[in-house]
Amino acid sequence: MTTDTKKITLDINGIKEYLPHRYPLLLVDRVLDVELGKRITAIKNVTVNEEFFNGHFPHKPVMPGVLMIEALAQTAAILSFMTMNVKPDENSVVYFVGIDNARFKRPVEPGDQLVMEVEILRQARGIWKYKATASVDGKVAVEGDLMCTIRGAAEATMKGAAPADGSTEG
């Protein structure tokens, strides 16, 4: 009996097929491993050239926590789309439904490699719940439970849903 143990990986071009995000908000650089329907491991290479370091903070550059959570959410979205065997179109939007138990344990600085691990806890009625952890050099930087839903842009606008960034623009 043979089992297929082929490792699923994605480079940046493969990632762009599963995420609508683009510079400067595409926060996943490589997918290292995927177990469809279960888990994903991806990385974000943090460099001093990132726009947010100009203001956060000029004297001590630190990656904003909300961007670490966003990077985890993007990783989760890749896992969900791959699990559904669907590539999003230009109208697909992934919205946060909730973020629970978020804890920030260490700063992330230029030169760090953020290793993101996301596990699907459950999926029901269009809501996905994940356990997400990002670490640097084996030390947890941020962890939390994320809940997201995937919608078409027109559908979300008609129902009055707000984008995950909290803006009120439709």
Q: How far is CA 101 from CA 68, 71, 79, 111, 167, in A?
A: 14, 17, 21, 27, 23
Query: Does residue 33 come out as left (phi exceeding 0), alpha (psi in the -120 to 50 range) or beta?
Result: beta
Dist CA 159 CA 121 (whole Å): 26
Q: Are 44 and 114 in contact (CB under 8 A)?
A: yes
Q: How many CA atoms lie within 13 A of 32 on its CB side?
A: 11
pLDDT tens digits, one per residue of 33-81: 999 999 999 999 999 999 999 999 989 999 999 999 999 999 999 999 9
Q: Tokens standing for 89? A: 């179109």
Residue (of 58, 63, 67, 68) closest to 107 by Cα position? 63
> Which stretch of DSSP H or E encloses residue 118?
strand 113-124
pLDDT tens digits, one per residue of 129-169: 999 999 999 999 999 999 999 887 666 554 544 455 444 44
**Which positions are catalytic?**
56
